[in-house]
Structure 1
Amino acid sequence: MLNASNPSADTGITPARRTTMLAVLMMIYTVNFVDRTILATLGQAIKLDLLITDAQLGLLQGLAFAAFYTTLGIPLARLSERVNRVSLIAICLAVWSGMTALCGAAQNFVQLFLCRIGVGIGEAGCSPPAHSLISDMYAPRKRATALAIYSFGIPLGTMVGAVSGGWLVEHFNWRVALVVVGLPGIALALVFRLLAREPVRGAMDAAATTVATEAPPSIRETIAHLFGNRAFLHITIGATLVGFVGYGTGTFAYAYFIRMFHMGYAELGLVYGLVGGLSAGLGTLLGGWMSDWAGKRRRSWYALLPAIGLLIAAPTYIVAFTRGEWITAMWWMLLPGLFHYAYIGPTLGVMHNLALPRMRATATALFFVVVNLVGLGIGPYATGALIDYAANRRFSASGLGDFATQCPGGVAAPGAADSLQSACTGAMAQGTQDGIVIMLLVFLWAALHYLIAARHMGWLKREAVASPAPARQPG
């Protein structure tokens, strides 16, 4: 059970600096997601330039990044339990930003894959220490809101990546886009190191005087403490499935509008970036605020709110991705983001209210190992493979041969007959739609786990605590 909050404790930083640090951390997370997701915006241009499949594109966006991001997340989190977290974040920010810029020099799939590994290595040192810092600056019943503000960097970064990446790739090329979005992070690393201060660990929790001298719990103890709680176990499964769908469909949503409606990169980047950023941003902030507000009365709302959101998001996303005109589709895209991203604040709030002060960075890393290895590592590849399969089936129905042979990169070779060109582009567009729609159905599975978590938290039992119910004992 979480210790009572200690709102009067001295964190070692002033309220003004705390607000500034949270704002800069949100900016860092924005850069994090620009660099992480930029390939979704540039994917179609990279596919045509390097002549790769959608499955390979999914590997670049997913596994190349996620494998080292998750593997190194735990040792870097363990390190952050002992060292200055501000310095660690600044160093890692400079590393991943430089590797993003280096991606622009890649000449083939293998080189780009290796550079993306470098981005993942750097980004592994961002969220675990950042979450730990935020939890040491805000009381338990304000953490979901604070973590939602930090997580606002997800939709904001996705929006910035879409708008800037779309404009840069249309007016220059995808290589220039990677260099331009990568380099500013190095300057931000210096700014953060100069402005931020290390807060007292556990100052916002009871018994804070012993936290600074305590040894961090072992990884095994942290795993038992977190995942021995059945409510949090199901929340983690639900969040993993949300990531699987979100990263998977997000990787190809941009390409979908180009393939289906032949939109230009700059036009699509502006419209899709603003629509997605607005709805997802509001959903992230409202999810954190509403869960903290409702959770004061009934703790199960920390799980019920994400479940309801996902049950609404799945069908509305499907409606958006099956419209016959891009303008209608974009209008529909405003709605599901509000509900989809509402899960972030309550999910992270539950985790950090359950975790002890000296295990929070490790808890974040362990949580992200599960969520990102499956969600980010496998989601984009699975979606790309589904699209490749669906496109091949639709093309095979035309009787023109093998899709991969006749349509390298998803388009017919220069000089091919009009019928072949039409068949290639049509199969690619319809296959992309099929793959995305199938993936979106997994949201319903994710919602089920959040509902199960709410059951373990007492459903609508009036018990105002910030952490989930204790794990039930056998028998």
Structure 2
Amino acid sequence: MWPARRYAWYVIALLTLAYALAILDRVTIALLIQPLQASMHINDMQFGLLQGMAFSLVYSVLGLPIGLLCDRWKRVPILVAGLALWSVATMACGLARNYEELFAYRMLVGVGEAVLVPVAASLIADYFSPDIRPKAYGVFTTGSAFGAGAALIMGGLFLVWSNHLIDDVPALFGGMEPWQVVFILCGAPGIVLAVIVMLTCKEPARKGVVNTSESFSLRPVFHLIGRHPGAFGCLMLGTVLNLVCVYAIIGWFPALFIRVHGWGAAETGWLMGSVGVPINIFAALTSGWAIVWLNRKGHLDAPMIAASFCAIAMVAFAVPASLVSSGTLALVFYALNAVFVNWNISAAYSGLSLITPNEMRGQVMALQTIAQGLIALTAGNFLVGLLTDTVFRSPDGIAYALAVLFAVCGTGSFLILMAGRKAFVRAAAEANAATAG
């Protein structure tokens, strides 16, 4: 017996909102590049590390033990703790007095957010039957789309509000700089959501569990991946390379518009967010429906196909978005690319869920989280900064750095995903047979 459908979708709404807040807290810093560099005297590489490695190092390392926990313990309390921690840590970023303190607080944000994907992926698999589960993952990924857009829109709005708060509420914000107030405003909603989740979310019964009472051993997971290395390896690596591009867009496209096209930070946030939010939400929703449709047409490798569309878009749309001379045209290509960006996330989650037994899903999702953090989040932010500081050092160098990254990673992702389709079909057929048996 599956949980009541209406309640299951209510939980999805909370998880989606949590995802949105996680992305908001993670990426709003991209809009603050100018005031942070002015306040803390840091270069592009340091800023790239602040966006990426400061967050991704602990986010990645903690993913696997958290995956083990959520495969064996109650998941809702783990989610509440993580949500509260990353929200408080985001607010603490606004109190940082130097680069080192800000780096440390960003690490704490990563500790809290490491909880979300393994726990949410496991919960969703026990709230929804396999025939509609990709749709649920598609809705969940709208949180990423909404959060990225909200980070731009709300970040710009918070920059405007911060000046008023500093002047009108000196008892709380007097003596602060606007970027500090922005961090506090970003983190506060997560505290409220943590309380709501704690009071209203129920732990679902696990479906199809073989044995969750074993010791905390990773041997079964590595045995599973070793049995289907092509399926797991190509899906995980292909989607991670796509995410290198995605994080480069989130972390550096605001700087592209500010530096190359002369837009202001608030203007950049409002325009990118206003264009990106509706398109990204549409893309996240349609991704799940597209995967379901492809499955019904007999394509067991539907997640691989969906992720490959994201890879194609990076080359076809993100590269010209970086290089065109008009800011308006760059925004048009940015919008076209956004149509397919969230197909990658839905493909990764639904694909791994399809070929992984219930009692290992949290661990496999944690491995994906590690790869996303150590490779995608770190590289997507650091490599662009490295290229602008060492190779493309002209004022418009960020455009060429981004174009190179999108061309290389998008092409690589497409080739890897295509190479793994047959192996994924075999793994999916075996998983379906085991479930039917």
Query: How does the TM-score come out when normalised to structure 2?
Result: 0.90
Structure of larger gyration radius: 1
Q: Does 1:162 align with 2:152?
A: yes
Deviations 1:254-312 (A, max 9, x none): 01101112212222111101212222222222122111211221212321232133213
Shift of 1:467: 5.5
- Indicate how the Cα distance of structure 1 residues 233 and 468 shifts in structure 2: closer, same or farther if over 3 A, else same: farther
1:245/1:443 contact within 8 Å kept: yes
- Indicate how the Cα distance of structure 1 residues 136 and 259 shifts in structure 2: closer, same or farther if over 3 A, else same: same
2:84/2:191 contact within 8 Å kept: yes
Shift of 1:170: 4.4
Shift of 1:223: 2.3
> Structure 1 CA distance, aligned partners of 2:216 and 2:300?
26
Q: How does 1:119-198 map to 2 (within 5 A)?
A: 119-172=109-162, 173-198=178-203
97-106 vs 378-387, which moves further: 378-387
Q: How does 1:336-355 map to 2 (within 5 A)?
A: 336-355=337-356
The aligned residue for residue 169 of structure 2 is: none
Give the 4+ runs in structure 1 shifted more than 4 A.
463-470
1:295/1:464 contact within 8 Å kept: no
1:457/1:469 contact within 8 Å kept: no
2:60/2:372 contact within 8 Å kept: no
The aligned residue for residue 431 of structure 1 is: 397
Any gaps of 5 or more consecutive residues in structure 2? 163-177
Which of 30, 43, 53 is 2:43 aligned to?
A: 53
DSSP-derived class of the 2:21 partner: helix
Deviations 1:33-81 (A, max 9, x none): 1111111122232122222111111101111101111111111221222
> Structure 2 CA distance, aligned partners of 1:309 and 1:469?
30
> Structure 2 CA distance, aligned partners of 1:43 and 1:125?
27
The aligned residue for residue 234 of structure 1 is: 234
- Indicate how the Cα distance of structure 1 residues 214 and 107 shifts in structure 2: closer, same or farther if over 3 A, else same: closer
Deviations 1:374-432 (A, max 9, x none): 1112321111101112343xxxxxxxxxxxxxxxxxxxxxxxxxxxxxxxxxx23x111
Shift of 1:341: 2.3
> Structure 2 CA distance, aligned partners of 1:323 and 1:68?
37
Deviations 1:159-205 (A, max 9, x none): 11111111222453211100001011011000011111000011xx4
Question: Counterpart of 1:130 in structure 2: which amino acid?
Answer: A
- Indicate how the Cα distance of structure 1 residues 227 and 119 shifts in structure 2: closer, same or farther if over 3 A, else same: farther
Question: Counterpart of 1:276 in structure 2: which amino acid?
Answer: G
Shift of 1:235: 0.8
Question: Counterpart of 1:355 in structure 2: which amino acid?
Answer: T
Which of 40, 43, 52 is 1:62 aligned to?
A: 52
The aligned residue for residue 416 of structure 1 is: none
The aligned residue for residue 280 of structure 2 is: 280
Question: Counterpart of 2:239 in structure 1: which amino acid?
Answer: A
> Structure 1 CA distance, aligned partners of 2:346 and 2:200?
25
The aligned residue for residue 199 of structure 1 is: 204
218-227 vs 147-156, which moves further: 218-227
1:389/1:431 contact within 8 Å kept: no
Question: Over the residues paired in the alignment, what is the CA RMSD in angstroms?
Answer: 2.2
The aligned residue for residue 4 of structure 1 is: none
DSSP-derived class of the 1:140 partner: coil
DSSP-derived class of the 2:120 partner: helix
Question: Counterpart of 1:67 in structure 2: which amino acid?
Answer: L
The aligned residue for residue 455 of structure 1 is: 422
> Structure 1 CA distance, aligned partners of 2:226 and 2:350?
15
> What is the number of residues matched between the two proteins?
416
Instruction: Report % sequence identity.
Output: 26
> Structure 2 CA distance, aligned partners of 1:104 and 1:227?
45
DSSP-derived class of the 1:263 partner: coil
- Indicate how the Cα distance of structure 1 residues 278 and 228 shifts in structure 2: closer, same or farther if over 3 A, else same: farther
1:216/1:358 contact within 8 Å kept: no
DSSP-derived class of the 2:278 partner: helix
